[in-house]
Structure 1
């Protein structure tokens, strides 16, 4: 029997469900924000915050002067500037947004929670598997809100796609393909660093002491001391969608083939293929950092239909339906999910409700990527949990 989209499908395709739920805050509900880590990603997050406000940047902390100055300027000169992020936590603020390098995430978030501040924490929320328990404990032992920066959880078409998958529209899903290609040579130009305006020692924090490197400062995600490469930068987003849609949280096994073919100066591989076994299904990932054709996305393959999704939208392809009638359902994104995700965070700051991406989801997504990295360091494969982790 041919697949017939119903009213729910129409709502998914048109995006009316999201439009109906959109609301604005009153002028007297201004959220006072502290900014911690004011690089490029923070500028994107603040752009999104401006769209769902009202909010006011009260203070900013960054170890690089030009970053601090840029945030002070966008606050119309109101924000105070600080080297030490703990000085931001002493301010009269409601929440902090943290977009520092990964190796600072948990320490900053735990201190912010202890200071009674709500937290928007960029992904991956942890730098190591061991940090997951500490972050979760810090959130669940208090009453503060922590939103993990897994914006797909608030992105309308991702939410609708998850509803379809969990509703059985694809049949039995036994394989999920994920991929992400970027070109650091083409799309990621860097600016010279004014070392006189940078506190490199403070930037390193608890990482091993080492000489200043402009490459590490700009591309820290690709060095083990500060990040985790593609597994925690890119795969983390997609595996979070998988965990959400498939109602699971960690793989049992991981295998990986990876190498540094182009960016030999990095610690982390620039080209990789990985496979993860979950109870009842497998997840595969492939990507490289010197080709950006196709960008990133996921494919949920079931015995009745396949759903292909990226940040632009999704399409459902029905088994047994002629090519000229496929896809049987399409949905396009009409709003950047980070805007909706920041809106959800602000709403939770007011309502004290659980955010769309609570701490457990961020920890699980980061852990999956970290398990992949462990496999890379252990001759390409690992079972989880290991004997040492039980």
Structure 2
């Protein structure tokens, strides 16, 4: 077969505006009373900090979307979520609202035929599994980043979405921020000449955490929360606060995520791929090193430095130096540079803060930023609201701005760097086969065992 996997993927998952992803035979349910053309009924799975601050508010503001169910393994949190959603709709409609069903087990929520789509805002280790189960249940999905804990899980997730024909949007909301699209268009259209290097600056995570075993709260299904990861004793610093919605400790435990390299890196490396037209590919060489804590509970990487080479000759560097330089992405070309960041925006009240300028878009020459993109030049997918883009695509069945395969490739670039940090040597990657070249040790880190009955 002469067609390469890369060519097949790009044809299949092309992220241009107006590309249909629905199956040829449209399910009868699309034309029912809960159809996307009428009102989208949504279930929220995981009701912690990011769900409350970002995901649920991102959809409930639309009149044609309605959150009708919430699920969480923490009974206190699911009760809070019902109160939060009900309170919002009561105020919006001017009368008491009680149309929110609660679940402990997300599988029961997925079995609800009235639900058209789901928000998945769980800890990272549950992302791929729930997304796969959701699309197989016929639900469209808004999935918090990163897509997966391992490259193998991400591949399974993307394949499942493609087979299902469902709409999956990853929560890389930077794609729906004007400055990131503008920066990528300017780079794509040669406004800084030939792209040579990219620097991605990320915040860091401190070590610490109390590993002392504690009694499991009666309101908390800890075994299910652990999911497919190994059983370890409960302690609040390993999970989330039992009071309030502060930044949870699981973000700093490798059992549940890779740390900032995926936690924030999934955003920035996605922008790098967008600017380089490498959304369906990846690096060919990766190297790096990192400092890992030697004591305490929290064991994700600390300060790190990585370097990736892409087949277009561009070198992409990652670093945690945002105590001295602003968090963001710096593109350097043969004729200038562009720096892009979120500016003053934050997705939640306790996002990590970094030093430096809050100016969202800068360039070596201000004229670069006012350059007009011609009619025959590259124009990228334009979205002004990330949750809104997802909802519109649920209704239209057109391709959304950050679909599953694009999200998987961005997450893979982050996970490849994490593997390089662990092995502390240069690795050679085949982005078509998604395997390391002649490296059994590195290939063994593409996947990891799953604890039953949560395996997939």
Bin for the TM-score computed over the shorter chain: 0.7 to 0.9
Of the candidates 221, 227, 234, which is equivalent to residue 199 of structure 1? Answer: 221
**Of 193-202 and 166-175, the range deviating more from structure 2:** 193-202
Of the candidates 295, 304, 326, which is equivalent to residue 272 of structure 1? Answer: 304
The TM-score, its normalising length taken from structure 2, stands at 0.70
Of the candidates 329, 342, 353, which is equivalent to residue 369 of structure 2? Answer: 329
Distance 1:264 1:338, change over 3 A: farther
Q: CA deviation at 1:137?
A: 1.4
Distance 1:272 1:263, change over 3 A: farther
CA contact (8 A) 2:167 2:397 kept: yes
Q: CA deviation at 1:223?
A: 1.9
| CA–CA distance in structure 2, aligned partners of residues 220 and 29 of structure 1 | 39
Residue aligned with 2:231, SS? coil
Q: CA deviation at 1:224?
A: 2.1
| CA–CA distance in structure 2, aligned partners of residues 65 and 293 of structure 1 | 42
Q: How does 1:23-172 map to 2 (within 5 A)?
A: 29-43=38-52, 44-76=54-86, 77-91=98-112, 92-172=114-194
CA contact (8 A) 2:266 2:410 kept: yes
Q: Deviations over 1:134-181 (max 9, x none)?
A: 112111112211111111222222112211111111101110011022
Distance 1:74 1:184, change over 3 A: farther
1:349 is matched with: 394
Of the candidates 260, 271, 292, which is equivalent to residue 241 of structure 1? Answer: 271
Q: CA deviation at 1:315?
A: 1.8
Distance 1:39 1:262, change over 3 A: farther
- Aligned-pair Cα RMSD in Å: 2.6
Q: CA deviation at 1:55?
A: 2.1
Q: Deviations over 1:307-360 (max 9, x none)?
A: 110012212223xxxxxxx575379xxxxx997110100000100001100111
| CA–CA distance in structure 1, aligned partners of residues 181 and 50 of structure 2 | 23
1:231 is matched with: 261
Q: Deviations over 1:160-218 (max 9, x none)?
A: 22111111111011100110225769xxxxxx998221111110011101100211102
Of the candidates 402, 411, 421, which is equivalent to residue 376 of structure 1? Answer: 421
Distance 1:257 1:377, change over 3 A: closer
Of the candidates 250, 255, 260, which is equivalent to residue 287 of structure 2? Answer: 255
Of the candidates 345, 357, 363, which is equivalent to residue 316 of structure 1? Answer: 363
2:316 is matched with: 283
2:11 is matched with: none
Q: Which residues of structure 1 form unaligned runs of 5+? A: 1-26, 186-191, 319-325, 332-336
Distance 1:371 1:182, change over 3 A: closer
CA contact (8 A) 1:126 1:366 kept: yes
Q: CA deviation at 1:294?
A: 4.8
- Bigger fraction of residues in strand: 1
- Bigger fraction of residues in helix: 1
**Of 175-184 and 370-379, the range deviating more from structure 2:** 175-184
CA contact (8 A) 2:44 2:56 kept: no
Q: Deviations over 1:18-51 (max 9, x none)?
A: xxxxxxxxx9843211011111011111122233
Residue aligned with 2:61, SS? helix
Where has structure 1 moved over 6 Å in runs of 4 or more? none
| CA–CA distance in structure 1, aligned partners of residues 296 and 426 of structure 2 | 22
| CA–CA distance in structure 1, aligned partners of residues 425 and 46 of structure 2 | 34
1:362 counterpart = 2:407 = yes
The TM-score, its normalising length taken from structure 1, stands at 0.82
CA contact (8 A) 1:63 1:200 kept: yes
Q: How does 1:213-228 map to 2 (within 5 A)?
A: 213-217=235-239, 218-228=248-258
Q: How does 1:300-311 map to 2 (within 5 A)?
A: 300-311=331-342
1:334 is matched with: none
CA contact (8 A) 2:215 2:234 kept: no
Residue aligned with 2:267, SS? helix
| CA–CA distance in structure 2, aligned partners of residues 219 and 254 of structure 1 | 29
